[in-house]
Amino acid sequence: MTTTTDASLELPRPRKARATGLWRLWSSAQVRLGVTMLVGITILVIIAPFLAPHDMAAPVGRPYAPPSPEAWLGTDNLGRDVLSRVMSGGIYLAWMAPASALIAVSLGAAIALIAAYYGGWTDLILMRCMDVLLAFPGILLTLLCVSIFGPAPPLLVTLVVLTLMPGVARVIRGAALPLLRQEYVLWAKTVGTPGRVIITRELLPNVSSPLLVELGLRLSWSVAILSSMSFIGYGIQPPAADWGLMVAENGNGLGIQPYAVLAPILMIVLYTIGGALIAEGSARIIARTEGEA
């Protein structure tokens, strides 16, 4: 009598590389500061309608009036309260920037991992598509699409995603390729684990560190791109309050009422710095962790 034994069952499962937990990232002062800034700004824009001294759309004085007890930061080009508009002006960024970054990173990572794992034609086709998107100027794509379909927020998010996704895919594919030679991946392949399972259970957790860095980085990029779209008139449309739009609307009054421009710029800078701090802090923690490993 012969006994057949599945040899793979006898192989010891290799130890996986240690993934950096979120708690470890939180130990970074930079990450904590960045998260605090983003959360603080998000809370501010959410509760702005209850805290703002005036209706953000209603004129409270003459155009470009200087700061006064009635309007602490003066008025804008239509005589609206700058403070109230600054407080409300991040409401679009508060959801569009994180949504854009999250979707871009998710899709970019998915494409990168599929391309890296399956290789061959799959890799070639997917990454060439990413290269085409990467090579196509984002601003042209924006002008084209917004001119045709109008500046609806979902479209703007889609455009930002298309702009950011190829870069994410490039980075994550680069991070995933060395993992394919790791023992635990080879073991999973040997025992016949389906590709999608290997991608989600073996590869994805081990690229989570660069993914988190990408997320913070792309969040900053999203803020910059969305604000730029509003600034050039292809983003959020008047009379909505939006920081980028405020800069564009009040740019000509910079000489006589600078607060109408500087206040929204400050908010964009703070939001961008928040994202950048998270990315920078995450990168440092990951580097330190990999050094320890």
Partner 1 sequence: MISAKLRRAVAVGLMASTALLGSGLAALAQAELVLGVIGNSKDVVQPYSPTTSASAESLYSQLYDNLSAYAPDGAVVMELAESMVPNETLDVWTVHLRPNVMRHDGKPFTADDVIASVKYMMDPENNFILRSQIDFVDPEGIRKVDDLTVEFTLNRPFGLFANAFAEDSLMMRALGEDGEVVGTGPFTLDSFTPGQEARLTRFDDYWGDKPGFEKLRIIGFRDQQAVTNALRGGQIDVAYSVPYTDVPALTADPRLKTVISGNTSYPMLAFRVDTEPFSDPRVNEALKLVVDREQIVNNAFGGYATVGNDFLGNNTGCAAPDIPQRTQDIERAKALLAEAGQSDLSFELVTDGAFAGMMEMAQLYAQQASQAGITVTVRKLDVASFLNRWREWPFLVSFTAGPYEIAATAALLPGQGENATHFDDAEYNELAAKLQVEGDLDKQCELVAQMQAIENERGGHIVPAFPSNITVHRDTVVGLKPDLHGRTPVEYGGVTLNK
- Residues at the interface with partner 1 (CB under 8 A): 55, 57-59, 62-64, 77-79, 147, 150, 233, 237-239, 248-249, 251-257
Least CB distance to partner 1 at residue 160 (A)? 21
**Could you tell me the smallest distance in angstroms from the CB atom of residue 254 to partner 1?**
7
Other CB atoms within 10 Å distance of the CB of residue 223 = 31
Residue closer to partner 1, measured from CB, 253 or 281? 253
State in angstroms the smallest separation of the CB of 270 from partner 1.
Answer: 25
CB nearer to partner 1: give 85 or 218. Answer: 85
Given the complex with partner 1, which of 74 and 108 has the nearer CB atom? Answer: 74
CB of 234 to partner 1, least distance (A): 9
Shortest CB 64 distance to partner 1, Å: 7
Cα three-residue angle 7-11-13, rounded to 5 degrees: 145
- Distance, in Å, from the CA atom of 211 to the CA atom of 216, rounded to the nearest integer, reads 9
Eight-state DSSP code of residue 186: H
- Find the shortest distance in angstroms from Cβ 28 to partner 1: 41
| CB atoms closer than 10 angstroms to residue 145 | 17
Alpha-carbon torsion (19, 215, 134, 162), positive or negative: positive
Report the alpha-carbon distance of residue 170 to residue 109 in Å, rounded: 9
Question: Which CB, 179 or 241, lies closer to partner 1?
Answer: 241
Q: Give the nearer residue to partner 1 in terms of CB position, either 206 or 257.
A: 257
Q: What is the dihedral of CA 137, 160, 224, 257, to 10 degrees?
A: 100
Which residue type is seen at 37? Answer: M
Q: Which residue has the tokens 């479209």?
A: 155
Question: What does the alpha-carbon distance between residue 168 and residue 250 come to, in Å, rounded to a whole number?
Answer: 35
230 or 282: whose CB is closer to partner 1? 230
